A = this chain, B = another copy of it.
């Protein structure tokens, strides 16, 4: 019979790991589950990625690269305009990226979003640092743009709210916001864009709030 897996073993491993890590988390996903799903051998993981953590690193890196690129592209677009970017524009550019990734690449894209949301809330400090290193380049740019749009807000206040935005988006992307109580998940893209808009509305208002009195 023909090869049922046209993609290379390395790519199939990345795809399978991306989906399974997003679904069950890193610790609860065994390498054997990954390799069986990918139609590969257990040893292939250590051959291509060195270790289980190396596989995670590669998965996160691949997913993060596209997201980071999209975020920076949108930010550059806003800056190229003649007006200074508003808070809402900045928030929307940041939040919509997740949804756009989903829509662009279908099921695979949803896994990417869920994976990144999941990795951020992983307990293992090493994994958290991995995620932090990946978002660092984008963070600097957005913090600066947000600070410019909110000159009356102290920098640490802006940073706190930025982290809240990242975190809330991560929860949304990992479906943690929706299915605490099962039974009202719409699963459609209509709800996706609506909820994205809800997030933008909430976060924009949160950013615009005056600094809390100390």
Q: Could you list which residues of chain A lie within 8 angstroms of chain B, going by C-beta atoms?
A: 23-25, 27-28, 118, 120-125, 128-129, 131-132, 135-136, 157, 160-161, 163-164, 166-168, 171, 174, 176-182, 194-195, 197-206, 208-214
Q: Which residue of B lies closest to A181 (CB)?
A: B132
A-B contact pairs, 24 of them (CB 8 A): A24-B123, A25-B25, A27-B28, A118-B123, A129-B182, A136-B181, A160-B195, A161-B198, A163-B178, A164-B202, A166-B180, A167-B168, A167-B176, A168-B168, A194-B214, A197-B212, A197-B213, A198-B212, A200-B212, A202-B206, A202-B209, A204-B209, A205-B209, A206-B206
The interface residues of chain B lying within 8 Å CB-to-CB of A122 are 25
Give the shortest distance, in Å, between A139 (CB) and chain B (any CB).
Answer: 8
Q: Does A121 lie within 8 Å of B201, measured CB to CB?
A: no
Residues from chain B with Cβ under 8 Å of A124 in the complex: 24-25, 28
| Closest beta carbon of chain B to A207's beta carbon, Å | 8
Give the distance to chain B from A178, nearest Cβ to Cβ, in Å.
8
Which of B25, B131, B166, B203 sits near A27, CB closer than 8 Å? B25
B123 and A23 contacting across the interface, CB-CB below 8 Å: yes
Q: How far is the CA of A132 from the CA of B120 in the complex (A)?
A: 21
Task: Name the B residues within 8 Å of A131 (CB-CB).
Answer: 180
| Cβ contact within 8 Å between B179 and A128 | yes
CA of A134 to CA of B132 in the docked complex: distance in angstroms? 32
Residue of A168, A195, A199 with highest tally of chain B CB at under 10 A? A168
